[in-house]
Amino acid sequence: MRPDVTARLASLPPDERALLRPLVETSRGFYVTAALLAVIGLWGILAYYFQLRDGLGRTGLNRPEYWGIYIICFVFFIGISHAGTLISAILRVSHAEWRRSITRSAELITVLVIGFGAIQPIVDLGRPDRLLNVLFHAQLRSPLLWDVMSIGLYFTSCTIYLYVPMLPDLAIIRDSGIKAPRLYRFLAAGYRDTPSQRAVLERVIGVLAIVVIPIAVSVHTIIGWIFAMTLRPMWHSTIFGPYFVIGAIYSGIAAILIAMVILRRAYRLEHYFRDVHFDYLGRLLLVLSLLWFYFTFAEHLTVFYGAEPAEMRTFWAKVTGPFAVPFWLMVVGCFVVPFVLMARRATRTPRGTLIAGIAVVVGMWLERYNIVVPTSVNPIWELESFGHYLPTWIELSIMAGALSGFILLYMIATKFVPIVSIWEIKEAREAVREVADRVATYSGAPDVSAAAGHVP
C-alpha cells in the first residue's frame, strides 16, 4: 500500500477505516484464490469453445433427455440470485434493523450471479447464433419468452437496487481519495449527502424495495412454469410456481450465509457480521427448510395418491429407482441437515450456519437435478423406452467455470465497493433512538413516547 493511501485511510473514522481497508489492501491468499478461479473459468470457456465448434453432440444429452446440466444450472444460479434482492427488500420493507450490515453483500450476489444463470439457456441452445430470433420472431405464448422478459426486468431492477443504496458509500470513497478518484467521481454521480439528497435517496430506496419483490417472485415462478406448462409427468403441476420461489429464496439465504462466513473471516468483519446475524438468518433458514419440506411432501404425496401410471414411473424412479441416490441426498441436504442444525440455538453459529448453508446449496442443486432429469428420461407414452443421461466433461467444465466465474467476480467486487454498507451502519447508530420510540408506540406506553418528545 502506498504511504499516502495509508495515511488517508488512517485519518478516516473507524467504520470507514475498517470497511474501506479491503479496497486498498489485498492479501496473497486473495491473489492465489483469484488465479485458481480464473483458471477454472477459462477451462469452462475452453469447453464451451469445443461445444460451439462440434455441436451439442459433445454433451451427454439425447432424446428424450433434451435438457440436462445447463438447465439445472440455469434454475440453480437464478435461484441463488434470489438471495440478495428479495431478502434485503423484505427486511428493508419490514424495518428489520439487523439487516443493515448484510444487505450489500446479499444484493451483490444477486446482480453478479444472475448473468451466469442467464447464459445457461444460451449455452444450451443448438443455434446460439440465432439468439436474437427471440426478439425478431417473438412468440408470446412461450413460457421461455416470458422468462426472457422477466429475467431482463429482474436484472435491470436489481442492478438499480444495488446501485442506488450504494451512492453514499461511493461518495465516501470519492471524498476519501483512497482509490481511483476519477472512477468514483463518475460512479458517485455528484452525490453530496445533503439532507435533501438523503431524503430523496431514502424515498427511492423505499419504492425500489417494494417494486423488486413482485419482480423477483415472478422470475422464479416463470422458471417453474417453463416445466409446469408441459404435459410431462411430475412437471405438469400447479405447485411449481410457488415451489420454485420458495426453493430460490432457500438456496439464496444459504448462499448469503456462506458468503458472510467467508467475508467475516477474510476481511475481519466480526464487528459487523455478529452472532445475532447468523442466529436470525439461521432462523429464517429453519423456516424455509420447513416450507421446503412441506412443498416437497405435498407434491410427492399428491402424485403417489393419484397413482397415474406415467406419473408413478417417474415417482418410483426418484424414490427407489435409478435416481434414489440424488433424491435422498437432496432430502438430507435440504431438510435433515439444516433442520437439525438450525433448530438449536447452540448450532445457529457461524460454523453451524456454514455447514447448513453448504448442505442447502448442494441439496438445492440436486433438487433441480431431480426435477429436470427423471422427468426428461421418462416419456409420457409408455411404449417409448426410458432414457438415460450421463453428463460429459464439457458440461461439467462449463458448470464449474460458471460457478468459479461468479465467485471470482464477487471477490473482485469486494475490492471496489465496501461489502458492508457504511452509511447504513452509521444510520443504524442514529436510528437507535428512533427505534426505541417506534417500539414504544407498539408497546402502548404513552408516557414513554411523550417523554421522547412525540405528540401523537
Residues in the site for other proteins, rule: CB under 8 A? 54-57, 60-67, 121, 124-128, 130-131, 133-134, 136-139, 141-145, 148, 226, 229-232, 376, 379-381, 383-384, 387-388
Closest approach of Cβ 115 to other proteins, in Å?
19
Looking at beta carbons only, is 133 or 443 nearer to other proteins? 133
Among 9, 11, 7, 33, smallest CA distance to 22 is for 9
How far is residue 365's CA from residue 71's CA, in Å, rounded to a whole number? 11
Looking at beta carbons only, is 126 or 195 nearer to other proteins? 126
Looking at beta carbons only, is 357 or 391 nearer to other proteins? 391
Closest approach of Cβ 148 to other proteins, in Å?
7
How far is residue 80's CA from residue 109's CA, in Å, rounded to a whole number? 8
Looking at beta carbons only, is 225 or 250 nearer to other proteins? 225
Looking at beta carbons only, is 59 or 404 nearer to other proteins? 59
Question: End-to-end CA distance of the chain, in Å?
Answer: 54
Looking at beta carbons only, is 229 or 332 nearer to other proteins? 229
Q: Supply 292's cell numbers.
A: 421446503
Closest approach of Cβ 380 to other proteins, in Å?
4
363 burial level (CB within 10 Å; 0-12, 13-18, 19+)? buried
How far is residue 185's CA from residue 169's CA, in Å, rounded to a whole number? 12
Residues 6+ apart with CB under 8 A from 268: 18
Looking at beta carbons only, is 202 or 308 nearer to other proteins? 308
Closest approach of Cβ 311 to other proteins, in Å?
13
Closest approach of Cβ 151 to other proteins, in Å?
13
Write the secondary structure of 61-99 as one string of H (helix), E (strand) and C (coil): CCCCCCCCHHHHHHHHHHHHCHHHHHHHHHHHHCCCHHH
- Residue 302 near residue 311 (C-beta atoms within 8 A): no
Closest approach of Cβ 129 to other proteins, in Å?
9
Phi first, then psi, for residue 235 (nearest 5°) are -105, -40
Residues 6+ apart with CB under 8 A from 131: 122, 125
Closest approach of Cβ 60 to other proteins, in Å?
8
Among 411, 37, 107, 139, smallest CA distance to 256 is for 107
